[in-house]
Amino acid sequence: MTSVTVNGRRYDVDLPDDTPLLWALRDELGLTGTKFGCGMALCGACTVHVDGQPVRACVTPISAVGTSKVTTVEGVGADRVGRAVQAAWVDLGVPQCGYCQAGQIMSATALLKRNRKPTDADIDEAMSGNICRCGTYVRVRQAIKQAALGASR
């Protein structure tokens, strides 16, 4: 039995230690907001925060999470920056299919929490691990800038 703390709540999960956090979240805890996209940390769809750091849940075994605090897209709105990012996403109509957007939002929030005024180059660096096949990148960039303003107000 492993314990994980997700969005401020502690869960016991009865899964092998090497089970990726992604599948524990989705299949065991029913937190399906975190998405499967590649299983190899190549696309960013499964991005969550572990102690505030953006992490690819598909390659993070639950045993490696330990006592760290996991935040998913379902919980990131509790944070002021996360909420500003979500609001900018809705306001600018960033999503198309929306499937990758949980990962985009988690990466964007992590970026803004460590860098309140990211440049275009900062955004490229922080966001290029997150694939959007619908091609919403122009609006993702715009929303990050808008959220940066909103969060700093």
Partner 1 sequence: MSPRGPEVATDRPLVIANVSRRQFLQGVSAAGGFVLAAGFSSVATAADPPKYGRDGMPNGWRDDPLVFVSIGEDGIVSIVCHRSEMGQGVRTGMPMIVADELEADWKRVRVVQATGDEKRFGNQDTDGSRSTRHFFDPMRRCGAAARTMLEAAAAAKWGVPVSEVEAKNHEVIHAKSGRRAGYGSLAKAAATQTVPARETVKLKDPSKFRYIGKGNLKLVDGPNIATGKAQYGIDTRLPDMVYAVVARPPVYGGKMTSYDAAETLKVPGVLKVVEIEPSPEPAQFNPLGGVAVVAKNTWAAIQGRRALKVVWDDGANASYDSAAFRAQMEESARKPGKVVRDNGNVDTALAGAAKRLSAEYYIPHLAHAPMEPPAATVRIVNGKAEAWACVQSPQAARDLVAKRLGISADDVTVNVTLLGGGFGRKSKPDFVIEAAVISKAMDGKPVKVTWTREDDLMHTYFHTVSVEHLEAGLDAQGKPVAWMHRSVAPTIFSTFVAGAKNEAALELGMGVINVPFAIPNVRIENPEAEAHTRIGWFRSVSNIPHAFAVQSFVAELAAAAGRDQKDYLLEVIGPARRVSPEALGDTWNHGESPEQYPVDTGRLRRVVETVAREAGWGRKLPKGRGLGIAAHYSFVSYIATVVEVAVDDQGVVTVPRIDVAVDCGATVNPERVRAQMQGATVMGLAVATLGEMSFKNGRAEQQNFDTYQVTRMSGAPRDIRVHVLPGDYAKPMGGVGEPGVPPVPPALCNAIFAATGKRIRSLPIRDQLKA
User: What are the residues binding partner 1 (CB under 8 A)?
Assistant: 15-16, 19-20, 23, 26-28, 30-40, 42-43, 45, 72-74, 77, 86-87, 89-91, 93, 95-102, 105, 120, 123-125, 127-141
The residue (of 52 and 61) whose beta carbon lies closer to partner 1 is 61
Q: Report which DSSP code applies to 153.
A: -
The residue (of 52 and 77) whose beta carbon lies closer to partner 1 is 77
Minimum distance from residue 153 beta carbon to partner 1 (Å)? 19
Residue 140: which residues within 8 A CB-CB, separation 6 or more? 94, 104, 108, 127, 132
Minimum distance from residue 96 beta carbon to partner 1 (Å)? 3
**One-letter amino acid identity for 26?**
R
Cα distance between residue 40 and residue 25, in whole Å: 17
- The side-by-side arrangement of strands in the sheet containing 2-6 is 9-13, 2-6, 69-71, 47-50, 53-56
Minimum distance from residue 115 beta carbon to partner 1 (Å)? 15
Minimum distance from residue 22 beta carbon to partner 1 (Å)? 8
The residue (of 35 and 113) whose beta carbon lies closer to partner 1 is 35
The residue (of 113 and 136) whose beta carbon lies closer to partner 1 is 136
Minimum distance from residue 148 beta carbon to partner 1 (Å)? 16
Which of 120, 140, 124 minimizes the C-alpha distance to 132? Answer: 140
* Residue 43 burial (CB count, 10 A): 21
